[in-house]
A and B are shown apart, each in its own frame.
Chain A
């Protein structure tokens, strides 16, 4: 090494520029964070936050398309919208809620399977969960029209097992039809948002140290007790974010209700969509949308507080 050090003179390092010693120490990168944040935040402020303000203002305007709208602080729009469309609001909460519960019940075993039981099949199953995303969700939702078609094998089987009699009695289906009933809409919602439940569940289950199961078993917990006392509590962050990621988009969805349902299954999204794009009653549409947003925010806040996972985001 001594030869190395001496034979090859050290390559000239950048000779120090004559730095005046009186210069105060530079504050490096004081403005950098703001420069990094600015473009994206401006984008969100202009195209996410500002529209909310515009919408709030629109919701208290009166007028007509021809004469234009003016802010008249006409809060009655909210009351009228609520009293006219509360069934759709209730339906949205009910359908989205049922779909969320179903997603949790269906998704948990699969997430558990991928996390703990799949072994070398783990990646393959994960791919199979994600890959359907790449077939447009509208095409896949239309496929349910085929699957649930009148007189098709699925409906036939349900009919011969007398399941349809029960669901008809409950008001979930109508006669020997499944399409155009609440059952079809909930089934579609569940299907569409199931991956949004499975992935967060899997992520939080996968983080659980397998030795915890052994430790619980060692401490006299039966398998189901282990699940109830150890696995499930530890997967709570996944349960919370999974239910949010399912419930929020499902409550505002109008695609499933439109494609698989009927006018009797219309959700609030359908109303907002038609008020905005067909009837062009902007104040009512804005008021409905505002109510939906407020309701979601309140529910989400309460839910996050209750489940004690505030550091989720």
Chain B
């Protein structure tokens, strides 16, 4: 009976942690299997321990090329989507204009559309226009679907900004450009950074839309997809694990820095 009570009181915690385990289990598998030495072409069964893949991450043809293409695409798409999205967010929060509802739905719809629909219709457009599929068509697509997410992230931040701060800057002899550079931008920065980070992650990890519009270009997710058919090299797991670790390290480092600053101030 005591056991049942103990269990009842911790039901939320236990089930929450089980879900967390469910979420992290594949990452554990990916990490463990990055040290595997598979016998066949596929890396699905444990054979023996090896660090071969870690010492030679680019040892598979086209793998690192696809990775660098994905990084380039993600960086360019992030830049494009962040600039365009930030402009829209400012216009939405700060100005009155006609057809506001239409603008809002045009921004919301890409987020409420299954990727495969956007992918297929964009391909239809490119085919009709006779566009050469490749880097540029992927970039166009990535900017398109990242844009709305940037708008949402930046809008939230700009909405919570006190418009009096900009008035104060203008009152203190800052012209429009200086006001934007010295006050508006620094204060909106966290929102813009969040939007940019989201855009980078979405673009880097996108498969469906890219797959439709890539032509002969191969991004990292497309490489993984192809290898699922041809054979999965261990290096895929190495790169997956490394990305996970880099992301966690970045976030933890960021938290440590903010914590220190807070402590210094206090």
Q: Do chains A and B touch in the complex (CB under 8 A)?
A: yes
Question: Which residues of chain B from 223 to 259 have any CB-CB distance to chain A below 8 Å in the complex?
Answer: 224-225, 228, 232, 236-237, 239-241, 243-244, 246-248, 251-252, 255
Question: Which residues of chain B from 126 to 140 have any CB-CB distance to chain A below 8 Å in the complex?
Answer: 127-128, 140
Question: Which residues of chain A from 106 to 155 have any CB-CB distance to chain B below 8 Å in the complex?
Answer: 106-107, 109-110, 112-114, 117, 123, 125, 127-147, 149
CA distance A199 to B258 in the complex (A): 22
- Produce 1/0 per residue, B102-146, CB < 8 A to A: 011011111011111110111111011000000000001101100
By size class, the interface of chain A is 35 or more
In the complex, whether A255 has a CB less than 8 A from a CB of chain B is yes
B225 to nearest A CB, angstroms? 6
What chain A residues lie within 8 Å of B115 (beta carbons)?
A: 249, 252-253
Task: Check B26–A51 contact: CB distance below 8 A.
Answer: no
In the complex, whether A97 has a CB less than 8 A from a CB of chain B is no
Task: Check A191–B91 contact: CB distance below 8 A.
Answer: no
CA distance A114 to B26 in the complex (A): 21
> What number of B residues sit within 8 Å (CB to CB) of A?
85
Task: Check B91–A51 contact: CB distance below 8 A.
Answer: no
In the complex, whether A269 has a CB less than 8 A from a CB of chain B is yes
A130 to nearest B CB, angstroms? 8
Task: Check B44–A252 contact: CB distance below 8 A.
Answer: no
- Produce 1/0 per residue, B85-96, CB < 8 A to A: 101101100111
Q: Which of B85, B110, B208 is the one whose CB lies under 8 Å from A254?
A: B208
Q: Contacts A55-B121, A113-B16, A139-B237 known; A147 to B25 CB distance under 8 Å?
A: yes
Task: Check A137–B88 contact: CB distance below 8 A.
Answer: no
Q: Contacts A54-B125, A149-B44 known; A136 to B116 CB distance under 8 Å?
A: no
Task: Check B144–A44 contact: CB distance below 8 A.
Answer: yes
User: Which of the segments A17-25, A165-173, A212-220, A288-296 contacts the partner chain?
Assistant: A288-296
What chain A residues lie within 8 Å of B22 (beta carbons)?
A: 106, 191, 194
Q: Which of A131, A141, A244 is the one whose CB lies under 8 Å from B248?
A: A131
In the complex, whether A37 has a CB less than 8 A from a CB of chain B is yes
A43 to nearest B CB, angstroms? 6
Task: Check B251–A131 contact: CB distance below 8 A.
Answer: yes
Task: Check A133–B122 contact: CB distance below 8 A.
Answer: no
Q: Contacts A40-B85, A289-B116, A313-B104 known; A54 to B220 CB distance under 8 Å?
A: no
CA distance A254 to B224 in the complex (A): 15
Task: Check A277–B113 contact: CB distance below 8 A.
Answer: no
Task: Check A143–B30 contact: CB distance below 8 A.
Answer: yes
Q: Contacts A109-B12, A136-B221, A139-B240 known; A40 to B88 CB distance under 8 Å?
A: yes
Task: Check B205–A39 contact: CB distance below 8 A.
Answer: no
CA distance A140 to B34 in the complex (A): 12
CA distance A123 to B221 in the complex (A): 29
What chain B residues lie within 8 Å of A244 (beta carbons)?
A: 112
CA distance A180 to B259 in the complex (A): 47
In the complex, whether A236 has a CB less than 8 A from a CB of chain B is no
CA distance A44 to B140 in the complex (A): 10
CA distance A289 to B119 in the complex (A): 10
A149, closest chain B residue (CB)? B44
What chain A residues lie within 8 Å of B44 (beta carbons)?
A: 142, 145-146, 149
B234 to nearest A CB, angstroms? 11
Q: Contacts A29-B95, A33-B95, A36-B95 known; A135 to B243 CB distance under 8 Å?
A: yes
Q: Contacts A296-B112, A296-B113 known; A138 to B221 CB distance under 8 Å?
A: yes
CA distance A149 to B87 in the complex (A): 49
What chain A residues lie within 8 Å of B109 (beta carbons)?
A: 48
Task: Check A255–B244 contact: CB distance below 8 A.
Answer: no
Question: Which residues of chain A from 26 to 59 have any CB-CB distance to chain B below 8 Å in the complex?
Answer: 29, 32-34, 36-37, 39-41, 43-45, 47-52, 54-55, 58
In the complex, whether A208 has a CB less than 8 A from a CB of chain B is no
Ranked nearest first, the 6 interchain pairs of A and B with the lowest CB-CB distance are A252-B114, A113-B16, A33-B95, A51-B121, A40-B84, A134-B247
With A54-B124, A54-B128 known, 5 other A-B pairs at CB within 8 A are A47-B144, A110-B19, A132-B24, A136-B221, A293-B117
Q: What are 18 A-B residue pairs whose CB atoms fall within 8 Å in the complex?
A: A39-B87, A43-B147, A47-B140, A47-B143, A48-B106, A48-B118, A54-B128, A55-B121, A109-B12, A112-B12, A128-B23, A138-B221, A138-B225, A142-B44, A149-B45, A194-B19, A253-B116, A296-B114
